[in-house]
Chains A and B, each alone.
Chain A
């Protein structure tokens, strides 16, 4: 009887133990299903967020270009012309009658002339016409010429490979990345020599900007400023990649690689939906 009792209880415990195991398996399956749905929706939300950011940035780039164009036009049409008129009027003055003011007036004419030239340069830099009409290489050469003339920097351009046709809009965005890189070097690098390399490969174009400045380490507080963020985002819009390599004392190398035939980022291509 003792053994029969024990046997009954053991069988009883085993049966209900198995039922308990089913309960545990049920919970595990519910959790797994829910977590799969959760992670899938998180991935979708992250993709949407990334696409939204890119679309936002593309809009910002377009607005920025329009603003640049507007300002360039204003400088050329209004400010530049008024200054030219002021210079002409000053030039028409009878210098013989100016007496002690002759030198001051002469200096003013010189300064106005310099301002007109500087404004003309700014206008050309801001305008997208340089790139759209003359192409990326000519635009870069013009910028290099401008900086070389200041005497503070020694720039050289190397072109490797055969130049390939790039969509004008892409060349403009790439040119802005290049301008951003130059701005960063001028403001922060304490460099004297800058080498720009345009490497045309069959599938992609690589733009490299290297300086001999003070460099920086990624741990530095200002290591990822707005300029670098803008460069990376513009590269993403071109379905490209932007890498920045730098060590303190050894200058900085910025490498932008964009596919020559790649489409710009849009919603469908990013989310695959």
Chain B
């Protein structure tokens, strides 16, 4: 089970690096949508976190506490970036209340980071961030059906990103929310396995980010050759 955690962590690094390089490659095409160019802000931060993370996790175990602290704080950036991205592409009028919901979750997230800062094993901030993003994604999908736009979803890069957020947070939330109770009850090995599942959720997220950039590149090539 510990091996499972190691594999998942390294897989997360591979996918994080891959999503960064694919996002850079997509810049080559002029017809890449502007929002995808701005999304490099997320893939770049992910890249800057996972690369040192790889070395610390595998070779510098003394630095793991620092790594956990950095990841905890990066959860705020992760939530704000993805949350505002989802709201920006949510269809329909009256988005102020959606921003209000997002702000409430952000406040709870920051509060949880402050109170759980000293508890290195706590996953409460991650679970709050995940839940907030799940709620925002559900609002996006609801409005997608209520105010349909005349576009083919399969060719829409933003849809793939938000689907990736929804599924990855959907996988992560139940585990991260109940993680703290398991940590006290089960052995280190078993709890590593659960940690591995949380890590795997980021693999899903980056896989969908790669998919969205590939979709955009495919659309650009179609335009080029049409």
Q: Does any Cβ of A come within 8 Å of B100's Cβ?
A: no
Kindly identify which residue among B154, B163, B190 contacts A27, using a CB–CB cutoff of 8 Å. B163
Q: How far is the CB of B135 from chain A (nearest CB, A)?
A: 13
How many chain A residues sit at the interface, stated as a range, is 20 to 34
Is A34 a contact of B153 with CB atoms below 8 Å?
A: yes
Is A13 a contact of B197 with CB atoms below 8 Å?
A: yes
Which residues of chain B (132-174) have a CB below 8 Å from chain A?
A: 141, 144-145, 148, 150-154, 163, 166-167, 170-171, 174
Which residues of chain A (1-40) have a CB below 8 Å from chain B?
A: 5-6, 8-9, 12-13, 15-16, 19-20, 23-24, 26-27, 30-31, 33-35, 37-38
Q: How far is the CB of A267 from chain B (nearest CB, A)?
A: 21
Is A8 a contact of B186 with CB atoms below 8 Å?
A: yes
Is A41 a contact of B150 with CB atoms below 8 Å?
A: yes
Which B residues are CB-close (under 8 A) to A26? 141
Please report the C-alpha to C-alpha distance between residue A20 and residue B182 in the assembled complex, in whole angstroms: 19
Known: A9-B194, A34-B144. A23 touches B175 (CB 8 A): no
| Chain B residue total in the interface (Cβ 8 A) | 25
Please report the C-alpha to C-alpha distance between residue A31 and residue B148 in the assembled complex, in whole angstroms: 11
Q: Does any Cβ of A come within 8 Å of B193's Cβ?
A: yes
Q: Does any Cβ of A come within 8 Å of B187's Cβ?
A: yes
Kindly identify which residue among A5, A8, A30, A35 contacts B141, using a CB–CB cutoff of 8 Å. A30
Please report the C-alpha to C-alpha distance between residue A33 and residue B186 in the assembled complex, in whole angstroms: 43
Is B167 a contact of A16 with CB atoms below 8 Å?
A: no
Is A35 a contact of B152 with CB atoms below 8 Å?
A: yes
Which B residues are CB-close (under 8 A) to A15? 174
Known: A9-B190, A34-B153, A35-B154. A19 touches B145 (CB 8 A): no
Please report the C-alpha to C-alpha distance between residue A13 and residue B197 in the assembled complex, in whole angstroms: 9
Which A residues are CB-close (under 8 A) to B144? 30, 34
Is B151 a contact of A38 with CB atoms below 8 Å?
A: yes
Q: How far is the CB of A175 from chain B (nearest CB, A)?
A: 40
Main secondary structure of the interface of A (DSSP, over half): helix
Q: How far is the CB of B66 from chain A (nearest CB, A)?
A: 29
Please report the C-alpha to C-alpha distance between residue A6 and residue B189 in the assembled complex, in whole angstroms: 11
Q: How far is the CB of A243 from chain B (nearest CB, A)?
A: 29
Please report the C-alpha to C-alpha distance between residue A256 and residue B156 in the assembled complex, in whole angstroms: 44
Please report the C-alpha to C-alpha distance between residue A177 and residue B33 in the assembled complex, in whole angstroms: 48
Which A residues are CB-close (under 8 A) to B145? 30, 33-34, 37
Please report the C-alpha to C-alpha distance between residue A60 and residue B83 in the assembled complex, in whole angstroms: 54
Please report the C-alpha to C-alpha distance between residue A6 and residue B1 in the assembled complex, in whole angstroms: 11
Which B residues are CB-close (under 8 A) to A12? 178, 182, 194
Which A residues are CB-close (under 8 A) to B194? 9, 12
Is B153 a contact of A20 with CB atoms below 8 Å?
A: no
Please report the C-alpha to C-alpha distance between residue A248 and residue B174 in the assembled complex, in whole angstroms: 71
Is A23 a contact of B187 with CB atoms below 8 Å?
A: no
Is B178 a contact of A23 with CB atoms below 8 Å?
A: no
Is B186 a contact of A5 with CB atoms below 8 Å?
A: yes
Which B residues are CB-close (under 8 A) to A42? 150
Query: Which among A5, A23, A26, A38 has the highest number of chain B CB atoms within 10 Å?
Result: A23
Is B153 a contact of A31 with CB atoms below 8 Å?
A: yes
Which A residues are CB-close (under 8 A) to B182? 9, 12
Q: How far is the CB of A9 from chain B (nearest CB, A)?
A: 5
A-B contact pairs, 10 of them (CB 8 A): A5-B185, A5-B187, A16-B175, A19-B170, A19-B174, A20-B174, A23-B167, A23-B171, A33-B145, A34-B148
Q: Which 5 A-B pairs have the closest CB atoms?
A: A23-B170, A16-B174, A30-B141, A5-B186, A20-B171
